[in-house]
């Protein structure tokens, strides 16, 4: 893994925006953006400032980078963590437990007929593929869109959005959020 990508993962794990990291490290948001995408180099001084904000040292940062090649790659059904909404109307299965430190968070969302999954909006992007049933996706400021079995959706998640199961059968969605928001 490249250094910028690793910094991005640590920033997200520390629940910081690029702007917050830039301000605390006395750098610009533009620089942080370029660096996280590995499109610019960095001085040791600037890297040290970023690592200090992220609560790690040079030694720990590079030691963890070396060991990342050994990280878990295959996740079994028994590894999943199940979160249930009110009255069992929505179930979220965390497919990769502990994904809060990753760049994306894949989950399996099950929505019962006539119920909704509501989000007030957050930084990032979302992708979903309807595996069964059908849903209506409503993003603030846009027309509602029907998404049927086998179809996908993708959007920037900074606006409030709702997914409603308008069918008579349970709807199941493979949903990927970046950066992770499910806990």
Conformational region of residue 50, where left means phi above 0, alpha means psi within -120 to 50, and beta covers everything else: alpha
> Which range, of 14-28, 32-46, 93-107, 166-180, averages the lowest pLDDT?
93-107
* pLDDT of 152: 97
User: Given 3.30.230.10, 2.60.120.560, 2.60.120.10, 1.10.510.10, which CATH number is that of 77-178?
Assistant: 2.60.120.10
Report d(CA 106, CA 112) in Å as an integer.
20
- What are 36's two structure tokens? 């996280």
Between 43 and 165, residue with greater pLDDT: 165
- Mean pLDDT, residues 37-62 taken together: 85
Q: Which helix (H) or strand (E) segment is 51 a member of? A: helix 44-53
pLDDT above 70 for 13: yes
* pLDDT of 40: 83
Domain boundaries, the chain: 3-70, 77-178
Q: Which residues contact 133 (CB under 8 A, 6 or more apart)?
A: 111, 149, 165, 167, 169, 170, 171, 172
Domain 3-70, architecture per CATH: Orthogonal Bundle (1.10)
Report d(CA 16, CA 39) in Å as an integer.
20
pLDDT above 80 for 117: yes
- Please give the mean pLDDT across all residues of the chain: 87
Residue 166 neighbours by CB distance under 10 Å: 14
* pLDDT of 86: 62
Question: For the whole model, what pTM was predicted?
Answer: 0.61
């Amino acid at each position: 893994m490249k250094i910028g990508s690793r910094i991005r993962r640590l920033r997200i794990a520390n629940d910081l925006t690029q702007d917050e990291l830039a301000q605390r490290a006395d750098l610009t948001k533009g620089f942080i953006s370029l660096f996280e995408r590995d499109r610019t180099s960095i001085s040791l001084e600037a890297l040290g400032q970023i690592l200090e904000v992220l609560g790690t040292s040079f030694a720990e940062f590079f030691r963890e980078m070396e060991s990342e090649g050994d990280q878990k790659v295959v996740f079994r059904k028994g590894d999943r963590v199940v979160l249930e909404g009110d009255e069992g109307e929505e179930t979220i299965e965390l497919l990769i437990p502990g994904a809060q430190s990753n760049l994306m968070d894949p989950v399996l969302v099950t929505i019962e007929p006539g119920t909704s999954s509501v989000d007030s909006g957050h930084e990032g992007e979302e992708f979903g593929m309807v595996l069964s049933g059908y849903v209506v996706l409503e993003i603030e400021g846009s027309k509602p869109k029907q998404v049927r079995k086998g179809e996908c959706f993708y959007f920037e998640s900074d606006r409030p959005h709702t997914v409603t199961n308008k069918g008579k059968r349970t709807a199941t969605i493979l949903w990927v959020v970046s950066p992770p928001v499910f806990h």
